[in-house]
Structure 1
Amino acid sequence: MTVNVLFAARAENWDTYRAPLSDALDRAGVAADLRTDFPPELVDYIVYAPSSPLRDFTPFTRLRAVLSLWAGVETITGNRTLGVPLARMVDDGLTRGMVEWVTGHVMRHHLGMDAQITGQDGVWRKAIPPLAADRPVTILGLGELGRACGETLAALGFPVTGWSRSPKSIPGLLCLHGPDGLTAALDSAQILVLLLPDTPATTNVLNAETLARLPRGATVINPGRGTLIDDDALLAALDAGQVGHATLDVFRTEPLPADHPYWAHPRVTVTPHIASETRAETASQAIAENIRRGEAAEPFLHLVDRDLGY
């Protein structure tokens, strides 16, 4: 039996995903009709990007699941017209991309590479960084991305503390949770990596109070969500030297406006939301597997908890 799969995203996404998704569905043994337009009452699955204009799911009367192309689902979790399972994107390409970006920037700040790169003025400055074992790293958020980044950094010798809202246990990491755990996680964080989802509970998790808990001169790295940081508080902490540097990949408004203070601040590095992109080939495999599971009456993978928002 053929299933009808609606691809609901921007036109350029369709050009990128059409062939890989068709191939992945074939390899998964799913007979599918994949299109960008269907009568709503005939659609079985929706492959969805939050950039899609689709907001009302009421007409999709036989819909079985919505499968997000993005890891972030904050723009759809509260949609009251969506009554079917919602799966977020978890795929190896996205995870490995995040691990590589985070590891690169942690190592950059750990080794003091900025000073070496910009200090080519004929002056012999010998500054020896500590070993990784003496540079505590804290990761806020221990989902798929946080876990993978933490495991990689721990394998390089960094003492890694991870914090999450609920208890987690990950070999090689000190896992803390809850309000008291957050305080302890921040207290030791010479390098702080933010990988929390965007929910009401995580908005401005890094604010004047929590920034003050960090060791003086700490580095903040945010490839998670722009809403995790109180921008004014971070700028004040940078100006005061409480935070030594901030490398930021995500922002409340994207692209980051040209007049935003982050662009000109000497202790801020802006990267244009490149920490981890969904790769069409690996993401298509994840989508196809969930459709195969739906057709086989098996549990979907990576379902979103609507109450938690991720």
Structure 2
Amino acid sequence: MEKKPVALLTPAPIGSRWIAAFEKEAPEQAIQLNEAISNPEAVELLLVWKHPEGSLKNFTKLKLLYSLGAGVDHLMSDPELPKEVPICRIVDPLLAFSMSNYILLAVLDFQRRMDKYRWDQQNRVWDHYALPERDLRIGILGLGNLGQDAAEKLVQLGFEVAGFSPSPKTISGVRCFHGDGLNSFLNTVNVLICTVPLTEKTRGLLNASLFEKLPKGSFLINVARGKVQIEKDILTALDSGQLSGAFLDVFEEEPLPTGSRLWSHPKVQITPHIASITKPKAGVQQILDNWSRLQKGEALLHQVNVQKGY
């Protein structure tokens, strides 16, 4: 990798892990983090995650902008986003592995009624609960890399799986819907797993109108982005029985405010945005490879379609 200025804009704890990975994988490459960036006008490769608002305008000679994660909504929403600079994102096989494991955990937790057994343990109750009388019909809303991997693993476990994406997809063992087929997709599933990217089209997608299209008593799992869901609508659907439960890893505001009713709702399981976390070691190798490709004039890997927002 040619020694060009490289900078990191990300919260310090995250940045320190990436710097350590660069020091191990590419010790010849100097990396500057946040306030230590001495000359932003000279930076050609910028790595970002949850960067300070307005900070991108200082980097006037960028050749490549990298999101240190699978999502790029933190960049797409920035009015200072350079229009002519290519944007790439990390695609880590371990990211899909950990995401699929989380989804499997959530599905099995619901199927085996583990929420009831957790309550019983806290209250010293010894009881047995029958498995759900109806078969689970799992629907994955979003069939990108992460959604497709989860769909394939659920099929391997014997679940009936459907999926929806804007464009046609073919996945063995999965009934795929696309385009205008969203309502038909929702009508067929009773466990809805959301893995869509956050775009203007998906913002607020998980709302009262969508929940009404699901069979009554459906279960919701959201591992996408918090702003894809309307939390007051989730609570209303839970209280009415339209949703029988929710397993949520992401929230409209993070950390989730202590006053949120989601914390104490008996039908909600909460985790703090940990369904999948990018490993810096794998990310560094992708960044080095793409930077080399850029220098050679070759096509970049995992480049973001700015018009689509992912």
TM-score normalised according to structure 1 size: 0.89
Contact persistence 2:75–2:81 (CA under 8 A)? no
Q: Which residue of 2 aligns with 1:142?
A: 143
The AA in structure 2 aligned to 1:71 is A
Query: How many Å separate the matches in 1 of 2:64 and 2:302?
Result: 12
Amino acid in the other structure paired with 1:241:
G
The 1:300/1:268 distance shift into structure 2, 3 A limit, reads: same
Shift of residue 125 of structure 1?
Answer: 2.7
Matches within 5 A, 1:146-165: 146-165=147-166
The answer to whether structure 1 residue 20 and structure 2 residue 17 are counterparts is no
Residue by residue, what CA displacement relative to the aligned partner does 1:71-130 show, whole Å, maximum 9, x if unpaired?
221121254541200112211222222111111111111222222343355554351456
Distance 2:98 2:306 in 1: 27
- C-alpha distance 126-40 of structure 1, shift in aligned 2 (>3 A): closer
Which structure 2 residues correspond to residues 1-310 of structure 1 after superposition, within 5 A? 1-25=2-26, 32-36=29-33, 37-52=37-52, 55-57=55-57, 59-61=59-61, 63-78=62-77, 79-82=79-82, 83-120=84-121, 121=124, 123-129=126-132, 134-179=135-180, 181-310=181-310
CA distance in 2, matches of 1:232, 1:126: 30
Task: Give the secondary-structure state (helix, strand or coil) at the position aligned to 1:104.
Answer: helix
CA contact 1:97–1:275 (8 Å) conserved in 2? yes
**Equivalent AA in structure 2 for residue 34 of structure 1:** I
Note the C-alpha offset of 1:203. Answer: 1.6
Q: Deviations over 1:202-252 (max 9, x none)?
A: 122122221011121111011111122222222111111110001111111
Higher relative contact order (CA 8 A, sep 6+): 1
Query: SS of the residue aligned with 1:204?
Result: coil
Q: Structure 1 pair 173/25, CA: closer, same or farther in 2 (3 Å)?
A: farther
C-alpha contact 1:73 1:88 (8 A) present in aligned 2: yes
Mind listing any 5+ residue stretches in structure 1 that lack a counterpart?
Answer: none
Find the aligned partners of 2:132 and 2:256 in 1 and give their Cα distance. Answer: 32
- Aligned pair count reads 302
- Contact 2:41–2:58 (Cα < 8 Å) also in 1: no
- C-alpha displacement of 1:35: 2.6
